[in-house]
Structures are given as structure tokens and as C-alpha cells.
Chain A
Amino acid sequence: MNFKWISALLILPFLMVSCTDEPDVTPVVQDTIVHSSAVYIMNEGLFNGNNAGITRFTFSDSASVADFFMQQNGRGLGDTGSDLAVYGSKLYAVVNVSSQLEVMDAATGISLKQIPMFDGNSPRQPRKIAFYGNKAFVCCFDGTVAVVDTTTLAITSYINAGLNPDAILSAGGKIWVSNSGGLNFPAYNNTVSVIDPVSLSQEKEITVGTNPFTMAADAYGDIYLISRGNYGDEKSRLQVIDMASQTVKHTFTDFEAINFSIAGDSAYVYNYDWMTGENTLRVIDVKTEAIISNQFITDGTALQTVYGISADPVSGLIFISDAMGFTGNGKVYAFTKTGRLRYTFDAGLNPSVFAFLYSKEISSH
């Protein structure tokens, strides 16, 4: 999904990834002109509603297909979509309650393989996905990380992580898994597992805030992390982990945050106050770790219930999804970096995650 993709982009120079094919480990130096051609949106649907779906919005003609997966595959995506990511030529959708990883062709959305994620007859409940080399790492609520070969699309192994992993990030040559412990109320967990993507084992569990969730890396060796707290006296906070020392080096204590996205030097952080119905969008400079703005939207655009955010480093647009009342179709708003609305389009039920499809023109030397 978005953060993973962005982080994957950030490590592109290191991995020397290019082309439209699977990432290649051989360093190749090329100039590429990348532009955004489409964005996919995961519509979570509702629990037990069998109504997760994928919306596709094409930039060239501003055409949006609300239920793209159904249109292309003639069947439903499943129950409760939780993540979406483009990697190489493929689009990966993690479907939590159906306990499936759906792998599609990134350009057409046609399913290549539906990978069930069960332990016998127990659903593992996959949550989020990240990539490293030719492997996809899917963290599952049952405390494991499934390793999927991105060529054969087979699950090759499971790595043990902590309690109820709720986000996964590939950054700095490691796989980071936030172990929320979300199903252990009131005893939430507070660790992030550090997994070596080569040896496929957990190296360390580092202590972070309570109930850790979304992670994204910046270009300065830091991982930003949301720790959701206990929904009571411990508030949901944005934290910064120093990748080198693997410790939390900063917690932003003067605001609450639910989710965020990083592009370039900016982190776009939002909070939705469920009691007052107020959305707050902030911009933080990840280089200085200072708040740049407490009011990202500058043109007065009013949002109802911000439910997802993703900054596209290529187009420079910040995409924000609005779940409205959670009972019908949501909306997506695209803002410029200066917080002005560029356009808006309809998505499906509870749009939450974005995955950008880039087209690349390669100029050879």
C-alpha cells in the first residue's frame, strides 16, 4: 500500500530497481521519466459485508471505475480489504476477513492468483504488505509474516513476529512489523519487530508506544510511526524511530494522529476527532521534525471523515479519502502540496489505501 510503495520508492536507488518487470538486484544505471498514470483505491467495505473493492482512477482522462476488481474479474474481492500496493508489474490486495492475498496484473487489474492465507482451517487474517527484492511480506493478525515469492506467487515461509501485527514496512534493508496486540484489549502490545529479509527471521523486537500501527520511512534514516494508544488515557501519537539505533527518538505529544503519509521532506498527518467530527491535517518537515502547518487545507475544502491519506511523490499530489458516514460510497480528494483542491472523485465503501500506477519512459544512454 501507499507507505510501503513510497518507502519502496525511497529505497529504489539502493536496490537499483527499474523497468516494469520484477525488481532486479543487478545494478543498472538508467534515466527514467516516471509519471503517474492511475491510482488504485482500496475500499475496505464493511466487516461481514463481502463488499471490499478496488476503485481505479485514470489521470489522463479522469475516468474512475468504482468497482474495478468486480468489473475485471467478475467476482467480489472479498470481505474487508486492508491493503493495496503496486510492486513491479503486479497489484497486490490484502483481504483481511476473507484471509486472501489477491495478486493482479497492475495494468489491467486481472487476477493472476488468489492466495489463501490459512493455518489449517484458521484464517490468519492478513493485514498489510511490504516488499523486498523478489519477496512480498504480508503481516497477519495471527502473529506471523507470510513470505511470498513475487514471481511464483507461492508462500515460501512464515516468520514469527509479535502480537497482532497491524503494519509492515520495508526500509533500510529491514522489514519492520508493528505488533499492535489490538485483539488483546486492554493489554495492547508496544513493539516493532525487526526482520531480516534475507535470513527471513526476526532479529529484534524494539519497544515503541502502545498499540503501534502505520509506519513510513523518510530519507533521513527515520521511521515515522503511529502508536494508537489505548483509546482511553493514552492518546494516539506520531513517533519517530531512529533506524540505526532502533530506538524511538521522538514522540510528538502536542497533537493526536491517526494516520499519515510521507513524500519528500513532508509528512502529511491527519487526525479525526470522532467525538467532535473534526478533521485536522498537519504538515511536518521530516528533516527538522518540526510542524510546518496545522492547517494543510488552505482553500476551505471541507471534509467529513478523513479515512486515508497518501502523498504521491511523482505527481506531487496529496490524496485524501473521505469515508463520509461509513455506510455508502466515499470520496477521494486530490490536493496540491499547498493544500488546494485539484479535483475529487467517487470511490467505494470506506476508501482507505492508495496505490499508484506509474508509467516509465526509459531513456537509454
Chain B
Amino acid sequence: MHFRFACLAVTFGLLTLQGFAQQSPADTLTLKGVEVTGRAPSPGLRSASPVQSMGEMQIKTLPGYTVADALRMFSGVTLRDYGGIGGLKTVMIRGLGANHTSVFVDGFPVNDVATGQTNLGHIPLDGIGSVSLTVGNAMQMCLPARARSAASLVEIETQIPYTAGKPNRYAAALKTGSFGTIHPSFSLSRRAGAKSGIGLTAGFISTRGNYPYTLHNGALPDTVIHRANGDLKSLDLGLHFDHMGDSSHLKIRSRFYTSEQGLPGAVVYYNPWSKQRLYNRLLTSGLQYRTHRNKTEWLTTAGFSSGFLRYTDPGYLSMEGGLNNYFNQSEIYISQAFATHLAAWLSLSVASDVVVAGLNTNQYQTHPWRLQSITSADLKGSFGRIETRFSLVNQLSTDRTTIQQKQRSALSPSLSLIVPVLNHPLIRFRIMAGNSYRMPSFHELYYNLMGNVNLRPEKVNQLNAGFIGVFNLGKFEITWNTDAFAGRITDKILATPTQNLFVWSMRNIGRVNTSGVELHAGIQAPVNDRIHLLANAGYSLQRVTDASNKTATTYGDQLPYIPLQTFSSMAALEYRNISLGYYTLYNSQRYTMSENSAGNRLPAWWVHDVSLSWKHTRPAGNWLLKADISNLLGLQYEVIKGFPMSGRAFSITLTFSNS
């Protein structure tokens, strides 16, 4: 992500809250769905679309290096993880492919036009203040249209520490862990005048990634092998600037990220060698201005990103003696959104985004550019505590290549309603029906041999209904929700072989039915002045089945890599200056291919992570010492077949901040 901070301070959410607190009651309109602090009740309790979020208190006790370690704890999330810090990490939400999720960091979109998927492994966990996931239409009114165009939305907010306290703040942290991992980071911020702040962040990660795993092969004795070529070095630099007016907020975020890593490849019997390397370079910059006057809020966002990716495989037996593939992509975008009250009970928001993205690679026969225009309109009616929303998103996408021009369009309506059914305890019923499209990615359209320029957008229909409740039991606040969902993907883009098993092509041939339930319960309480407890657990059951071809043997089978059941729980306990975190995650068995046969089965797994931190306050500043153990029981498991995950791993972090 763009910014990393080791110090713990007021989150960005609080800043906006303070800014808007001086406003009229209209600002319920503008309250962002982001948690104000880790201790605030989840805003998802008022949302007609399912929202899950994780605040600062949980994130700071979470073991791990990347934001994927946080997201995988949410119900309905299947993390595709190739293992190791450098392994590709993408999320599938409720059985939809990773392309159906859009990711925003600090209100700025993170996009990859080549694959349409965001590698969450490139967003470090430190400095993150909150992470939230919304299925369906996001709750906030004033948002870029792009944030409404996907089936689900991941919002990541970083901590921005400049208001209260010292005018100059800094924090330095050193994290070191198993498998030769070292991760120093540094942040500095300075208040400039009464209303502005500027800061920079820097982080470096180096790991050998040579974790051991057990190789099973028939009746042969198990052997322990170390993952080879799993090393990573990355450098992440961020710059940020904020200016808070009485009713406005200007922010600028810039990030430079560079990494070099090995790709250990799948475990192949009798052939342990992998020489593939991946080089990444990314520069992003964005500016956002939020203001409101009278009953209208305006949000302007503009930015660019420029990414360079190089993949080499010296073992590829081509004439040139190896592969050297490069992908240079760039994107510029501008978005204007506004939200206003049309009447006491009726609000309207409209947003329009224009995105231009291009890609230059030696793996396409052409040089594609995409001009995308996304427009959204959203109406919200509030009748007492009943709230209803209707939204329309229109996407118009024009691809231009050296050979041709092709236009794709999609119109997505969605409707939602939330009504209280009981006041004591408070229970609400919610229902949401929505539709969304995702445009084919450049790789799907243009990749050599595989690409198919005639692809249509992939379409998703989703329906969700459930109850959410909150009640207090002494000092404890208990929240829960039970949701049932159903969905259908049509025109799903699937790769099928075209000439032989090594030449695949993309076609809109898939159809998928989804259905399931999600149960979630959380408890939090400041037990007394010194003890604070936060715990929650989520269970999800999802049937995600192939409905493409009735005559196929795979018809009705669960899609590859989607577990039927997942369970996650987390507990964070603060006692005086000690914090304890405990996390557990379960995925039931999965199939590696569309045929649900015994040979394609991948076993279920449980992992447990724990952390312990100790804070020591001195006049000069705060020391924080944190120790993590991930995969406490040292379970050997695979998320993706052939890519073993790390067993038990340790890390220890020492942080000093001057405030």
C-alpha cells in the first residue's frame, strides 16, 4: 500500500470525522464506512450490503507481512496464496474470481489492467489502520464510480499520524523473522501549519523464503525439502500530504515500490530446479479533494500509475535461451463524485470516472489502450430507520489496438433495503440484489496465442438477505449477522485448450451458480480501564458450482480451489501495556480442478497464529516489542496444489516512535 507507519495514532477516519463534526446533520451522508478506531462498532451494522472490517486493534496484533494476512480472515473470502512473502496473493469473494473485487487504498484505486487482479502481497501490512470488505454496493454515498462497479470492494486505509501531539513525529521499526527475513521501516511526518501535514515512509523487506516442507510421494519415505528460489527483496517509499480545511480535505499520496524475487514454482517430482525471476517497479500518485458546502459533498480524485514488470525464465528452452517477458503498463484516471440531499428523506449521489490505461509488452502482437468511462448514480431513501438504495452503474470501455477498436458496455442496477425488525435488542433485516460486470483483462484479450479479442464482459448477479443485530450484555457489546446469498456468473471467461494442452484460449463459456450462508459474531468490551477485549468468529458455507454444460461430467461440481466451508476467528486482548492476539483459520477440502474427483482433492487445513506485544512508554517516546508465531502448530498445507505453505514461522518486531 501507499504508506506505512509504525506509530499508532489517530486514524485517518478520525480526522475526517473531526472535520465533518462541525457540519450540519447532513454529515451522516458523508461519514465514511471506515472504522474510526479499532474500538468503534462496525459500521456494517447499518449497511444493507454485507460489510466486514478490521480495525487498528486487530491489525496491530495480526502476524504477517502483507494485507492479505488480514483479508483472509473475513468470511466468504478465499485467498489464493502461492506461499511465501513473495507468492502471489489474490482474493476470491463468495466464489467470484479475483477480477470481481476492486481494491482502494486511502480512497485511490489500485488496478492492474494486464490481469485485472490486485496482488495483495504487494501491500505491506504495517502502517495499515483499517481494512474493510463490502459485498455489493458500498455504503458511503460519495465515492468514485469505480468503487461501485465491481461485485465487491476492498478498502484499505493507512494510518496518518499528524494532528495531535508533537509537530514532528517519527517511528522506526525493525522486524526480523524466520527464513532470513528482515524488514526495517521508517516513517516521518511533520505538521505544517495548523491544518496541514506532510510525511514520508520507507520500508524494505528482504527474505530468503527457503522454508521447509515435507514432500510426499506415494509410499516413499517423506522427505523435508527447503523451498528454493523463494527469495524477495522489496523497497517501498511513500510520500503523503494532507490539508484539512473546515469542511474540506485535500490529500496527496505517492508511492514507489520496487522488488526483485524468485518464483519457486510448483513442486515437481524429481526436478527441483526453478530459475524464474520476477522484477516489479511501480510508481503511483494521486490527489483527492473532498469538500462540502450546504448539503452537498464533492469528491475529486485524480491520479496515475506506472508499472513495470519483468519475468525471466532462463530455463525456458527457446532459441534465445530463455524467456524475458516485460509488461509496462500505465494508467491515468480522474473521477468526480458528488452527493446531495434532495429532500429530508432522499439523497442522491452521482459519480463519473474516466480511466485511460495502456500496456506495452513483448507478449502481445499489439499495443492495446483502453479508455473507460464509468458512471454511477445512487439514490438513498431514509424513512425513519428504514433505508433503501437504488443504484445504477454504467461502464463503457473502448479498447484500441494497432489493428482494431472494440467497444464494450455494461449497465448494472442494484437495489437494497434495510429495516429494523426488533428494537430491543436491535435486529435489522437487510436485502440486496445487484448486478455487476467485469471487463476482460488485457491478458485475456491479447496474450499471445491465448488471448481472444472477442470476449464479452463477465456478468455477475448477486442476492443477499440476512439479519444483523447488536445488543449489550453488561460491558460487552455483541454484534452478529446471518446472511444467505445466491448468485450467478454468466459469460464467465474460461481458458480452454485450442490446439493442444499447451495452447489455451479464453472464451465466454462459463456459467456458475453460487449459494451459501455466512454467520458472524463479534464481541468487544472495555472490561475496565486496563483491559480491552475484542473477539469475533465467522463461518461461511459456499456452494459455487459449475453450471456451464449440463452434459459435462463437471456439471454441478464445486469450482476449483473454493472450499465449501471456511471458519475464522480472532481475539485481541489488551491489558495495560500488553496486547495478545490469537487468530485461527480453517478451509475445508478443495478440488484443484473442475472435476470433483478424489484425485483432484486437496485436504482441509487449520492454521493458528498468535502474537504478543509489549509497550513501554518513556518520556522520549514509546517502545513496542512484538513477537509473532504464524502457523503455530506447524501444519503442512497447500492452498494451491504444488505450492506448499510455510510451516511454523517466527518474527519479532521492535518499534520506537517519538510519540
Interface, chain A (partner B; CB < 8 A): 44, 46-51, 70, 73-76, 78-79, 95, 97-100, 114, 116, 118, 121-123, 125, 141-143, 163-164, 181-187, 228, 231, 236, 258, 274-275, 324-329, 349-350
B271: A residues at CB distance < 8 A: 78-79, 97-100, 118, 123
B268 near A185: Cβ-Cβ < 8 Å? no
Task: Digitize B260-290: 1 where CB-to-A-CB distance is under 8 Å, 0 elsewhere.
Answer: 0000011111110100000000000000000
Closest to A232 in B: B449
Q: In the bound complex, how far is the Cα of B595 from the Cα of A170, in angstroms?
A: 39
B371 at the interface (CB under 8 A from A): no
A99 near B595: Cβ-Cβ < 8 Å? no
- Which of these, B219, B317, B498, B595, contacts A327 with CB under 8 Å? B595
Closest to A307 in B: B501
Task: Digitize B292-335: 1 where CB-to-A-CB distance is under 8 Å, 0 elsewhere.
Answer: 00000000000000000000000111110000000000000000
B423 at the interface (CB under 8 A from A): no
B270 near A98: Cβ-Cβ < 8 Å? yes
The 24 listed contacts between A and B (C-beta, < 8 Å) are: A47-B502, A48-B268, A48-B641, A48-B642, A49-B592, A50-B217, A50-B266, A70-B218, A78-B270, A99-B271, A100-B271, A121-B273, A123-B271, A123-B315, A182-B502, A185-B448, A185-B449, A186-B448, A187-B319, A274-B498, A325-B554, A327-B595, A328-B553, A328-B595
**A49-B642, A75-B220 given as contacts; is B499 within 8 A of A274 (CB)?**
yes
Closest to B595 in A: A328
B180 at the interface (CB under 8 A from A): no
CB A163 to nearest CB in B, in angstroms, measures: 6
B501 near A47: Cβ-Cβ < 8 Å? yes
Q: Which 8 A-B pairs have the closest CB atoms?
A: A74-B219, A328-B595, A48-B266, A327-B593, A75-B218, A98-B270, A327-B595, A183-B318
Q: In the bound complex, how far is the Cα of B501 from the Cα of A274, in angstroms?
A: 11
Q: In the bound complex, how far is the Cα of B322 from the Cα of A184, in angstroms?
A: 10
B553 near A73: Cβ-Cβ < 8 Å? no
CB A162 to nearest CB in B, in angstroms, measures: 10
Closest to A324 in B: B553
Closest to A66 in B: B599
B319 near A184: Cβ-Cβ < 8 Å? yes
A228: B residues at CB distance < 8 A: 499-500
**Cβ < 8 Å to A, chain B residues 445-494:** 448-449
B503 at the interface (CB under 8 A from A): yes
Closest to B218 in A: A75
Closest to A275 in B: B498
Closest to B503 in A: A231
B269 near A163: Cβ-Cβ < 8 Å? no
A141: B residues at CB distance < 8 A: 317
CB A275 to nearest CB in B, in angstroms, measures: 7
A74: B residues at CB distance < 8 A: 218-220
B641: A residues at CB distance < 8 A: 48-49
CB A245 to nearest CB in B, in angstroms, measures: 29
A76: B residues at CB distance < 8 A: 217-218, 269
- Greatest chain A CB density within 10 A among B497, B500, B595 is at B500
B382: A residues at CB distance < 8 A: none
B449: A residues at CB distance < 8 A: 185, 231
- Which of these, B317, B319, B552, B642, contacts A325 with CB under 8 Å? B552
B594 at the interface (CB under 8 A from A): yes
Interface size class, chain B: 35 or more
- Which of these, A78, A114, A143, contacts B317 with CB under 8 Å? A143
CB A331 to nearest CB in B, in angstroms, measures: 11
Task: Digitize B128-146: 1 where CB-to-A-CB distance is under 8 Å, 0 elsewhere.
Answer: 0000000000000000000
CB A144 to nearest CB in B, in angstroms, measures: 10
Closest to A125 in B: B317
CB B498 to nearest CB in A, in angstroms, measures: 5
Q: In the bound complex, how far is the Cα of B198 from the Cα of A324, in angstroms?
A: 61
Q: In the bound complex, how far is the Cα of B640 from the Cα of A262, in angstroms?
A: 41
Q: In the bound complex, how far is the Cα of B552 from the Cα of A228, in angstroms?
A: 28
A123 near B273: Cβ-Cβ < 8 Å? yes
Task: Digitize B497-524: 1 where CB-to-A-CB distance is under 8 Å, 0 elsewhere.
Answer: 1111111010000000000000000000
Q: In the bound complex, how far is the Cα of B553 from the Cα of A46, in angstroms?
A: 18
CB A198 to nearest CB in B, in angstroms, measures: 28
B597 at the interface (CB under 8 A from A): yes
B496 at the interface (CB under 8 A from A): yes
B218 near A122: Cβ-Cβ < 8 Å? no
CB A310 to nearest CB in B, in angstroms, measures: 17
A181: B residues at CB distance < 8 A: 319
CB B579 to nearest CB in A, in angstroms, measures: 41
B115 at the interface (CB under 8 A from A): no
B18: A residues at CB distance < 8 A: none
B600 at the interface (CB under 8 A from A): yes
A275: B residues at CB distance < 8 A: 498
CB A103 to nearest CB in B, in angstroms, measures: 14
Q: In the bound complex, how far is the Cα of B358 from the Cα of A179, in angstroms?
A: 37
Closest to B499 in A: A231
B219 near A51: Cβ-Cβ < 8 Å? no
Closest to A71 in B: B218
A50 near B269: Cβ-Cβ < 8 Å? yes
- Greatest chain A CB density within 10 A among B220, B269, B505, B594 is at B269
A44 near B553: Cβ-Cβ < 8 Å? no
A274: B residues at CB distance < 8 A: 496-499, 505
**Cβ < 8 Å to A, chain B residues 541-597:** 552-554, 592-595, 597
Q: In the bound complex, how far is the Cα of B266 from the Cα of A349, in angstroms?
A: 19
A325: B residues at CB distance < 8 A: 552-554, 594-595
A183 near B501: Cβ-Cβ < 8 Å? no
CB B504 to nearest CB in A, in angstroms, measures: 9
A350: B residues at CB distance < 8 A: 501
B505: A residues at CB distance < 8 A: 274
Q: In the bound complex, how far is the Cα of B495 from the Cα of A326, in angstroms?
A: 12
A328 near B270: Cβ-Cβ < 8 Å? no
CB B508 to nearest CB in A, in angstroms, measures: 13
CB A172 to nearest CB in B, in angstroms, measures: 28
Q: In the bound complex, how far is the Cα of B595 from the Cα of A350, in angstroms?
A: 13
Closest to B266 in A: A48
Q: In the bound complex, how far is the Cα of B316 from the Cα of A324, in angstroms?
A: 29
**A75-B218, A123-B315, A325-B595 given as contacts; is B552 within 8 A of A97 (CB)?**
no
- Greatest chain A CB density within 10 A among B268, B449, B498 is at B268
**A76-B218, A236-B499, A326-B501 given as contacts; is B593 within 8 A of A46 (CB)?**
yes
- Which of these, A73, A79, A100, contacts B218 with CB under 8 Å? A73
Q: In the bound complex, how far is the Cα of B553 from the Cα of A51, in angstroms?
A: 20
A51 near B498: Cβ-Cβ < 8 Å? no
B268: A residues at CB distance < 8 A: 48, 50, 78-79, 97-98
- Which of these, B267, B317, B498, B499, contacts A164 with CB under 8 Å? B317
B217: A residues at CB distance < 8 A: 50, 75-76
Q: In the bound complex, how far is the Cα of B595 from the Cα of A326, in angstroms?
A: 9
Q: In the bound complex, how far is the Cα of B215 from the Cα of A50, in angstroms?
A: 12
Q: In the bound complex, how far is the Cα of B600 from the Cα of A329, in angstroms?
A: 10
B266: A residues at CB distance < 8 A: 48, 50
7 more contacts with CB within 8 A, not counting A49-B592, A142-B317, A184-B319, are A44-B501, A48-B642, A50-B266, A50-B268, A141-B317, A182-B502, A328-B599
CB B591 to nearest CB in A, in angstroms, measures: 9
B218: A residues at CB distance < 8 A: 70, 73-76
Closest to B551 in A: A304
A100: B residues at CB distance < 8 A: 270-271
A50 near B642: Cβ-Cβ < 8 Å? yes
